[in-house]
A and B are shown apart, each in its own frame.
Chain A
Amino acid sequence: MPEVDLLLPSIVFAPFLAAGLALGVGRFFGKRTGFLMVLAAAASFLQCLQLAVGTVGAPVTFVHEWIPGLRVALSFRADPYGLFFALLISGIGTLVGIYALGYMPALAPRRLGQFCAALLAFVGAMLGVGLADDLILLFVFWEATSVTSFILIGFWYEQEEACKGAWTALQVTALGGMVMLAGFILVGLTCGTYSLHQLTQSRDLQARLLESHAFLPALLLILAGALTKSAQWPFHFWLPRAMVAPTPVSTYLHAATMVKAGVFLLGRMLPLFGAAWLWTAVLVPIGLVTFLLGAYQALTATDLKAILARSTVSTLGLFTAIYGLATPEQDALGIFAHATYKGALFLIAGIVEHATHTRDIRRLGGLRRRMPVTFAVAVVAALSMAGVYPTLGFHAKEALYESLLHGPRLAGSAWQGAVIAVSVAANALIFAAAARFVSGVFLGAPSEHAAHAREAGPVLWGPPALLAGLALGMGLAAPTTERMVGALSSHPDAALHLSLAPAIGGPLLLSGATFCLGILFFRARGGLDALRRWRPAWLSTERTWDAAMAGVVGGATAFSSHWQSGSLRWYLSGTLMFTVGLSGLALWSGGLSLRDVVVRFEEMQWYGVALCAMLTASAVMVVRSRTRIGAALALTANGFLTSLLFVVYRSPDILLTQILIESVSTIFILLVLYFMPPFRVEGFSAMRKAFHVAISLAVGLCLFTFIMLSTSPTLREAHNLAADYLSRSLADAGGANAVNVIIVDFRAIDTNAEITVLMVVGLLVYGLLRSRRRSP
């Protein structure tokens, strides 16, 4: 069906178009720009839904040529897992859009337009990540999410914190993305295709990759991209810092979608790399460390959004470990469960902040009676986070324990006990953090901040209520959920059993242990908090990263302040050294030197000798002159004498050019003479003089060799460019003047670049001098 063919790119690119629209017409629409955002996101959601319902079993693809020479294609493919991701992105995007209508304070229309545009562009980029089939295309969208999230995190750019948070996020995720690109290219070069579908389906390609030397670096590079995006230890620090973003953004980027892109990529790469022991050896330890560390930090954090951000990091660690263990059948369930409860809790944190003007959990409390609806929604979402029966979170946790007990990689291995112990402990910490969230904000005696709080409107509590309702409702409707997540998982054929009546067995036992431990942790949270003091400072990867970034900036500053000293002599020396070095290298690699020059002394004429003598004399005068104007005049004389040389060689075009250039540059020198610093000839150290002399000699020698070689008869007969141009000039280009034909026709693209440079120089001079004159 042709209309389905275009559906995929339209899902991805429509949000970008809407973003442009929001930016362009935002100022005329005013507040209504927000509706545009919701409509665009909802349209994407409905289209994804149409695809999901209409094309079960036969994924829709769209392929269009992009860079055929590099085998890069503009290809999308709506396989179940990608579609699941796209549904999540567009669905939660719609809800967050509605919430943002009520949440974003009265912004200037321009700022609101910017916000909507950035959010919509982000939606489009994420949909692209979900649906792209080509690895390079995936990378492009991946980096687009980094850039748009940078804009969104730094939306309050007046605050220093926001700028810092946005910078850290961009540094970590964009660097990770670039590293990942290197990995993709390795895979593409080894396998000869960038198509994810082909790579994951073809056993031949996987075997070829596994046997090649590129396998190990490609694996590590791609993992670096995925782990930075998903804020895994040791890159976990950017996510809490990014919490300076407006709350709808935090919800959307840092709970529901962007951070899941890394996990999503792991799911995509599992068939390609999952067989290697290194895959497990890297992912499982990192995942478990993040799982435990994040959960601990979630329990001890005091900022509401930080609690949620840390627990998000923790859950992402869990997914990383699950993929590391190659038990992906539960991924759709786990990701969906997390997106619903964490999205709801983030939105509630925003509502609470709106009502009380604080996010510090120590200053909150007793909001139960003042905000009953929000309280109810928060309780349901927190139950799902804690994994209490019968919510979606419970089923996800059961599925996790099931796979830990009976998973193919782990069952019977020596590490099984440790992995299970860590998982139970981390889940118990998450349970305690969820309990703390609800009790700290809503229970207890009302604090002074809570005294004036009022219930929010339905625009604000509606979206979290819907998410929490999903978390509860889909937990209750277990058979439907089983079918749905079974169909949308990255490995749809893997069996996953959910039932409303939990089966008595190992997983349920572990859940019980989790609850008991969780209640214990919740009671002993003061003691756990004290543990933090024992951590040595050097363990903080955050500090290491900051130091590294400061080192980069410091190094760059030192380098450029040394190189860009502002001294014309130094610039000139640098340019000349580079030129001489390059041409010397060319001569050396061509095996040419002065020995190849053939000089025919019998061709020498008396006027040639006289001219050379005058040229030399004027050059000496330039150097020996005591005043600047003297040097300038001597230089002019040298130039005009050079033009006489072209008379000798009968080259009228170049002669004309030389004379004109000499006249104009003399005028120019006289114009700028006035601004020059005093002419200094004394006071240079011997070292510096020697340096200048050495450079001058090198330049002279180099140019001399080149000219002598190019006029040397032996070489002229071997490579006669001039004859070629002369013969083609009139015939091909309709011009008898070969010099001009070369400039405007044969080498027109070179000329094009040169005149562009010339124009830019002119505009720069204009701009610099004008701005200097305007600001005295």
Chain B
Amino acid sequence: MRGDSPILRTVARFAVPLTVWVSIVIFLQGHNLPGGGFIAGVMAAAAGAMYLLAFGVANAALIPWWKVPVVGLLISVLTGAGAFLMGRSYMDHDIWHFHLPIVGEYELPTATFFDLGVYLIVLGTLMTIFVEMAQEEGR
């Protein structure tokens, strides 16, 4: 997995950012349109895998991937615990309404934070496995 294919590199230079961008869009629209944290996380991991194949495992391993799911779980659990601390049941979600200056009325369900945790866990776990497996192969 040294990443020595020029074709793959050239494609990946465009495809990786594009995929990540799509994954973020899919994540944000998830509550109303097809998408959500799980799919977006898998898609981001696919982008990560492409990066790994194109630029080599050494570059992909620069991020400590195993910490990402830990942060993700923390976000998810804290979201759920927030409702618990305010005297409602665990994982009871809320919808926040904002009046933003330009956008106008904006709705943000607290479930989005929970979904962000899911996103990070899926991405982090898959990337941990990819990077570790690829390093194993490089030996």
Contacts and interface: CB of A to CB of B under 8 A. Distances in A.
The judgment on whether A and B are partners is: yes
Interface of A: 652-653, 656-657, 660-661, 663-664, 667-668, 671-672, 674-675, 733-737, 739-741, 743-745, 748-749, 751-752, 755-756, 758-759, 761-763, 765-766, 769-770, 773
Contacts of B132: 765-766, 769-770
Interface in B36-87: 36-39, 42-43, 45-46, 49, 53, 66, 69-70, 72-73, 76-77, 80
Chain B binding surface, main DSSP class: helix
B139 A755 contact: no
Given A740-B30, A741-B111, A668 B43 contact: no
Contact of A739 (B36, B73, B135): B36
B35 A762 contact: no
Contacts of A766: 66, 128, 132
A661 B122 CA distance: 11
Nearest to B134: A671
Contacts of A773: 135-136, 139
A735 B115 CA distance: 13
A737 B33 CA distance: 5
A127 to B, nearest CB: 34
Nearest to A776: B139
Given A664-B46, A744-B114, A736 B33 contact: yes
B39 A660 contact: yes
B16 interface: no
A628 to B, nearest CB: 16
Contacts of A762: 66, 69, 121, 124-126, 128-129
Given A664-B126, A743-B38, A759 B69 contact: yes
B102 interface: no
Closest 4 CB pairs of A and B: A762-B125, A740-B36, A735-B31, A759-B69
A736 B31 contact: yes
A751 B30 CA distance: 16
Contact of B129 (A660, A668, A756): A668
Given A656-B39, A759-B125, A773-B135, A737 B31 contact: yes
Contacts of A744: 31, 36-37, 93, 111-112, 114-115, 118
Given A661-B42, A755-B117, A667 B69 contact: no
B43 A653 contact: no
B36 A743 contact: yes
16 contacts: A653-B36, A656-B39, A664-B126, A667-B46, A671-B133, A734-B95, A741-B111, A743-B115, A744-B37, A744-B93, A745-B111, A756-B73, A759-B121, A762-B126, A769-B132, A773-B136
Given A652-B34, A737-B35, A660 B46 contact: yes
A653 B73 CA distance: 23
Contact of A763 (B43, B66, B95, B115): B66
A657 B42 contact: yes
Chain B contact residues (Cβ within 8 angstroms of A): what range?
A: 35 or more
A733 B30 CA distance: 13
Nearest to B70: A759
B42 A734 contact: no
Contacts of B111: 733, 735, 741, 744-745, 748
B10 interface: no
Contacts of B33: 736-737
A741 B31 contact: yes
B136 to A, nearest CB: 6
A740 B115 contact: yes
Nearest to A657: B39
Nearest to B128: A762
A747 B38 CA distance: 14
A773 B138 CA distance: 11
A664 B118 CA distance: 17
Given A763-B66, A763-B128, A773-B136, 8 more contacts: A657-B38, A664-B45, A733-B109, A733-B111, A737-B32, A762-B121, A763-B70, A765-B128
A668 B80 contact: no
Contacts of A749: 80, 90-91
Contacts of B115: 740, 743-744
Contacts of B109: 733-735, 745
Nearest to B107: A734
B36 A748 contact: no
A493 B32 CA distance: 76
A661 B49 CA distance: 13
Contacts of B90: 749
B137 interface: yes
Contacts of A660: 39, 42-43, 46
Given A748-B111, A769-B133, A773-B139, A759 B73 contact: yes
A165 to B, nearest CB: 41
A755 B41 CA distance: 12
A658 to B, nearest CB: 10
A751 B116 CA distance: 12
B42 A758 contact: no
Nearest to A749: B91
B91 A755 contact: no
Contacts of A674: 137
B68 to A, nearest CB: 9
B130 A671 contact: yes
Interface string B97-127: 0000000000101011011011001101110
A664 B34 contact: no
A33 to B, nearest CB: 35
B93 A745 contact: yes
A667 B42 CA distance: 12
Q: Which of B30, B77, B122, B137 has the most CB of A within 10 A?
A: B30
A574 B28 CA distance: 40
Contacts of A765: 128-129, 132
Contacts of B80: 748-749, 752
A755 B76 contact: yes
A730 B93 CA distance: 13
A761 to B, nearest CB: 7
Contacts of B31: 734-737, 740-741, 744
B136 A663 contact: no
A751 B122 CA distance: 12
